[in-house]
Amino acid sequence: MPDDATSRQHSERPAVFLDRDGVLIEDIDLLTKREEVRLLPGVSQALQMLQQSGYLLIVVSNQTVISRGLATEAEVGKINQHIQDLIEKSGGPRLDAFYVCPHHPKATLPAYRTICDCRKPEPGLFLRAAREHCIDLKRSFTVGDRITDIIAGYKSGGRTILVETGRHMDAPIETATPLDSSIKADAVCASLADAAEWILRNR
């Protein structure tokens, strides 16, 4: 009989971890309203292709609008639900989960002013998703538009793709500790659609 570790490995599924702003939707600085949401071209089709190929689809997003007091966690949740609705209306799949970090080391609201393990570039939300959804992190991929997404994906143990549909040219976001400049994406793609094709060629 197989041991517990082998059985667990066989039951685990790979995932694609997706940043939200700049990967799924247009990156509008400090997005707080549903009417500001715009899906990027080809997103629904790319997600459908990945899901049909056996990947769980997990959104992992830093949302400083919460720590700044511009939106509540519940309001961000409603925006995420709106994004899900738009994806499905345009022929895409239901995503498996949204994970949000509301913290910032210099948050306006004291309740969110902390150095946490869930704000990318830290991999806390990836590890939580892996526990809750039985994910094989080594067979998983991260798609993001910032180096902090790439570092978080690298720290989680999977491969990473930087897409050029968001703010990949911007200066890195503020972090509690210096970023490791030696960490690079495994691939650079023009869009999520191109990233999906790269994943399926290199899984």
This prediction has a pTM of: 0.94
Q: What is the pLDDT of residue 9?
A: 53
For residue 7, count other CB atoms closer than 10 A to its CB. Answer: 11
Give pLDDT tens digits along the chain (203 positions): 444 554 455 589 999 999 999 999 999 989 999 999 999 999 999 999 999 999 999 999 999 999 999 999 999 999 999 999 999 999 999 999 999 999 999 999 999 999 999 999 999 999 999 999 999 999 999 999 999 999 999 999 999 999 999 999 888 888 988 999 999 999 999 999 999 999 999 99
List strands edge to edge, sheet with 141-144.
Answer: 97-101, 56-62, 15-18, 141-144, 159-163, 187-189
In the chain, domain spans: 4-202
Give the catalytic positions in this structure. Answer: 19, 21
CATH code of the domain occupying 4-202: 3.40.50.1000
Instruction: Name the residue among 155, 174, 156, 34 with its Cα closest to residue 103.
Output: 174
Output the pLDDT for position 159: 98
CA gyration radius, the chain: 16
Of the candidates 11, 19, 9, 10, the one whose C-alpha atom is nearest the C-alpha of residue 126 is: 19
